[in-house]
Amino acid sequence: MLLKIGLVSISDRAFSGIYEDKGIPSLIDWLQHAIKSNFTIETRLIPDEQAIVEKTLIELVDDHKCHLILTTGGTGPAKRDITPEATLAIADKELPGFGEQMRRISLHYVPTAILSRQIAVIRRQCLIINLPGQPKSIKEILEGVKDEQNNQIVTGIFASVPYCIELLDGPYIETHDNVVKSFRPKNAKIHSQNK
């Protein structure tokens, strides 16, 4: 089974061409360095409109059968920041631990991390994660906090993504340990490889 990933950048200004979107290119670059397994990508650049965000997420899950969707942007407290609301509106389940860990990681770098409203949810058999809009913050959240010797201080959220996708009957995903080491219970790894 081939891993299908949806990447959605949510930004009025990038959508209207005021500035170049950097969220999707940085995510593509990170995923290519982090994931050993083969995967395909569907990308969307859309404005901060709740109905459009909802429709896009539904399309990527229901029609394109994505196993993972990563959104960037629209997670702050500003009036136009509606990504979490749109994501919750189309969700079957919420996974609060992802949002808690994202803020925990970001607080190592900026005190304003407490203003972020990033969440993760499941729709059908797809994991959807709201990430921030800044490429530097995206990388930090996915990889976690490391010291100068590259030792993990706080685990990045992507370490839990492959196992979550397996629990949703998705493909087995291998990662490059030097970027992000995915975690699975020992018996789960053996079971998944023998499916």
| Secondary structure of the chain in HEC code, one letter for each residue | CCEEEEEEEECHHHHCCCCCCCHHHHHHHHHHHHECCCEEEEEEEECCCHHHHHHHHHHHHHHCCCCEEEEECCCCCCCCCCHHHHHHHCCCEECHHHHHHHHHHHCCCCHHHHHCCCCEEEECCEEEEEECCCHHHHHHHHHEEECCCCCEEEECHHHHHHHHHHHCCCCCCCECCCCCCCCCCHHHHHHHHCC
Report residue 68 as tokens.
Answer: 């993972």
CA end-to-end span of the chain: 11
Residue 190 confidence (pLDDT) above 80: no
Q: What percent of the chain is predicted at pLDDT more than 90?
A: 90
3-193 homologous superfamily: MoaB/Mog-like domain (3.40.980.10)
Residue 122 confidence (pLDDT) above 70: yes
Residues 12-40 pLDDT 10s? 999 999 989 999 999 999 999 999 999 99
pLDDT tier at 189 (50, 70, 90 boundaries)? Answer: low
pTM: 0.95
Residue 56 confidence (pLDDT) above 50: yes
Mean pLDDT taken over the chain? 94
How far apart CA 137 and CA 89 sit, in angstroms, is 25
